[in-house]
Structure 1
Amino acid sequence: MTFPPLRDELRGIEPYGAPQLPIDVVPVQLNVNENPYGPSAACIADIAASAAEAAATLNRYPDREFVALREALASYLTRDAVSRLAGARTSTTESSIAPEQVWAANGSNEVMLQLLQAFGGPGRTAVSFAPTYSMYPEYARDTNTRWVAGHRAEDFSLDLDAARDLVKTEQPSVILLPSPNNPTGTALPPEAVGVLCEAAGDEGIVVVDEAYGEFRRSGVPSALELLPSYRNLVVTRTMSKAFAGAGLRLGYLAAAPEICDAIRVVRLPYHLSAVTQAVALAALRHAPELLGKVDELRAERDALVDWLRAEAYDVADSDANFVLFGRFADRHAVWQGLLDRGVLIRETGPDGWLRVSVGTPDEMAAFRAALTDVDGERA
């Protein structure tokens, strides 16, 4: 027996993780879809004071139901902040979201893992459509859930007939649908969500992962609007991206109360620390400020798409804060060439493609200059 006695299916597997390099070594870091704009001094002060207040009670366990945070998250959704930022018409259905429909955990990664713990497991199947978020099969693996990946069309959209047929054939208990999709940035139309919710029925839940939902283009609706129509629908969000809270590690979902209650069965005791709850509440108090750069980032993204296409690259339509572009005979060489010039992007997605996060105007200028230089060197 080889030590340590790791599960056989885990042997030889490298842990998930994008490269983390010192900022003084690589000054332009555009590989993990962070918001490049940090909080204001006023927001920092509120967070610090809230954390200090929570620290005075650290001898006691936190509120395991995190009632105040669930109320604040429900209020955020109720105010229809996301639809307003996207320029969409205010929805009347989002206002029905109540605290008992909200659940949160340490990042949307833990939210997803809890969903697979509750609704996946031995003898059950999870389905998504490739290319898709690379952590999904790991959630399935870690919960002993069978993993099946269908395929997207050439433009990374879903073939609804093929998707419905796959769901009918595999009868999954969990369907994972990122929208906007990672790594392509593609958003799902509401009819796609509805078709798959109906195909899954009461035997499966449909999880629409809206980690990048705040960045979607004007007129692109949120799946939150469909919650009253489908009790098997779950919509997940995060404070890591548009909220500029990647270091906070707070993800959450909206769903039927019965789904939230089911997750409570598998959650670890007191899984959200008092400090995490306090800091998240402080960040939500500053939501207008933290989300204030979303419009600028969307404009920067659209300008980047236009530039890349003008330079004859293939570019996926993006509703996120990143852009997938290609195609390269040797994408690693391009990635390395950019890194050598102080620009870090992500080598991910289909073969021949690269993904770049949207940063500040100066960062995007550095990326364009570096890519132009790499192209000139390889010509």
Structure 2
Amino acid sequence: MGQTLADLPLRDDLREEEPYGAPQLDVPVILNVNENPYPPDEDVVADIASSVAAAARTLNRYPDREALGLRTDLAAYLGHDLTPAQVWAANGSNEVMLQILQAFGGPGRTALSFAPTYSMYPEYARDACTTWVTGRRAEDFTVDPEHALAQIEQHRPAVILLASPNNPTGTALPLEVVERICAAAPGMVVVDEAYGEFRRDGTPSALSLLPAHPRLIVTRTMSKAFAFAGGRLGYLAADPAVVDALRIVRLPYHLSAVTQAVARAALRNAGSLLARVQELRARRDETVGWLRGQGYRVADSDANFVLFGTFADRHAVWQGLLDRGVLIRETGPDGWLRVSIGTEQEMAAFRAALQEVTA
């Protein structure tokens, strides 16, 4: 009989933990992990395939460990007069976040965020042996600056993680709140803009704050708006010294030649890959309106998902939807559910299934 985890000299703080696991189920309508529902057009597929073929001819050599070509392309995409020295990339924003905690967290240091927020943040802190603490969000899921400043004064965090738009609520942060937190923070402030391209008109990016705040980091991903979740490419913008700090903790050659090639191909085709963003934003707003019309509480969303509730038994509702072929996410505060924005047909299936389940 084989050994179990209990037989291994595992770190004590990992003994009761389980791997990250949003359900991956084969159902007709998948609306649980905030993917862009539209695959790349065939001309984009052809460009990516050609780029992979070119990279394959060099696979006997290590890739460019600094990924300078990719970082140049990312800086051009972000704008704000950013240079390649201010941009860093890794295998998904997950690796970007872990590198930030490895560089600026660690034993004896604390990371702070405001709940409810992204469920992986405490796991990044745990993996980097960093103490994790959370303040609270207001009833409407906004961050109260006075509460935030009190938490900073109490805990003196080395890293503050602020998702904007926030996952799972979709709530964006006003720049004035970010600025007040930056002014008070003793360490690094990370604004996670994974869903930044889905912001409603007039909702600004924290990228504009970088020149005035050298300890600010703004992270992004290509997984969502770019329809590139399978490509695994996350990135950040920050002061060049911050990028140098992350270069210390990154693994050698952490971005493969293939990853760099396909990401650059995606950026070359940004217009095509981002073409459906406006449509998804409009469908999100329609979904918010429909859910409110059905009598649900719905969080204002600047992302490609909607958090709604509340249910006395949310798991029963989630299961009922799944039984009808619709997979959404059981996450967030008690009683709430989150639905990603899919195609018109997928959202019609979601609405019909929800009405059946709650009839």
- TM-score between the two structures when normalised by the length of structure 2: 0.98
Which sits farther off after the overlay, 2-11 or 155-164?
2-11
Corresponding residue for residue 190 of structure 1:
175
Measured in 1, the distance between the counterparts of 2:311 and 2:102 equals 39
Q: Matches of residues 130-169 of structure 1 in structure 2 within 5 Å?
A: 130-169=115-154
Corresponding residue for residue 348 of structure 2:
365
Task: Give the partner amino acid of 2:273.
Answer: L
Measured in 2, the distance between the counterparts of 1:204 and 1:68 equals 30
Percent identity, aligned pairs only? 72
Q: Does 1:252 align with 2:238?
A: no
Equivalent residue in structure 2 for 1:326, among 293, 298, 309: 309
Task: Give the partner amino acid of 2:20.
Answer: Y
Measured in 1, the distance between the counterparts of 2:131 and 2:292 equals 39
Measured in 2, the distance between the counterparts of 1:14 and 1:64 equals 32
* Structure 1 SS opposite 2:88: strand
Corresponding residue for residue 85 of structure 2:
100
Measured in 1, the distance between the counterparts of 2:324 and 2:45 equals 33
Deviation, structure 1 residue 2: 4.0
> Which segments of structure 1 move beyond 6 Å, counting only runs of 4 or more?
none
- TM-score between the two structures when normalised by the length of structure 1: 0.93
Corresponding residue for residue 272 of structure 1:
255
What is the CA deviation profile of residues 163-217 of structure 1, one whole-angstrom value per residue up to 9, with x for unaligned ones? 01111211111000000000000000000110000001xx311000000000000
Corresponding residue for residue 82 of structure 1:
none
Corresponding residue for residue 89 of structure 1:
none
Q: Matches of residues 43-54 of structure 1 in structure 2 within 5 Å?
A: 43-54=44-55
Equivalent residue in structure 2 for 1:238, among 217, 221, 236: 221
Measured in 1, the distance between the counterparts of 2:226 and 2:119 equals 23
Measured in 1, the distance between the counterparts of 2:335 and 2:78 equals 38
Measured in 2, the distance between the counterparts of 1:227 and 1:17 equals 34
Task: Give the partner amino acid of 2:50.
Answer: A
What is the CA deviation profile of residues 89-127 of structure 1, one whole-angstrom value per residue up to 9, with x for unaligned ones? xxxxx1x21100000000000000000000000010000
Equivalent residue in structure 2 for 1:16, among 14, 20, 41: 20
Measured in 1, the distance between the counterparts of 2:349 and 2:6 equals 48
Measured in 2, the distance between the counterparts of 1:70 and 1:137 equals 28
Measured in 2, the distance between the counterparts of 1:363 and 1:112 equals 32
Corresponding residue for residue 63 of structure 1:
64
Q: Does 1:350 align with 2:333?
A: yes
List runs of 5+ in structure 2 lacking aligned partners: none
What is the CA deviation profile of residues 124-161 of structure 1, one whole-angstrom value per residue up to 9, with x for unaligned ones? 00000000100000001111101110000000001100
Q: Does 1:34 align with 2:35?
A: yes
Corresponding residue for residue 311 of structure 1:
294
Measured in 2, the distance between the counterparts of 1:28 and 1:228 equals 43
Cα RMSD of the aligned pairs, angstroms, is 0.8
List runs of 5+ in structure 1 lacking aligned partners: 79-93
Deviation, structure 1 residue 11: 1.0
What is the CA deviation profile of residues 302-348 of structure 1, one whole-angstrom value per residue up to 9, with x for unaligned ones? 00000000000000000000000000000000000000000000000
Equivalent residue in structure 1 for 2:276, among 272, 293, 308: 293
Measured in 1, the distance between the counterparts of 2:306 and 2:66 equals 37
* Structure 2 SS opposite 1:191: helix
* Structure 2 SS opposite 1:149: strand
What is the CA deviation profile of residues 202-250 of structure 1, one whole-angstrom value per residue up to 9, with x for unaligned ones? x311000000000000000000011111111100000000000000000
Deviation, structure 1 residue 12: 2.6
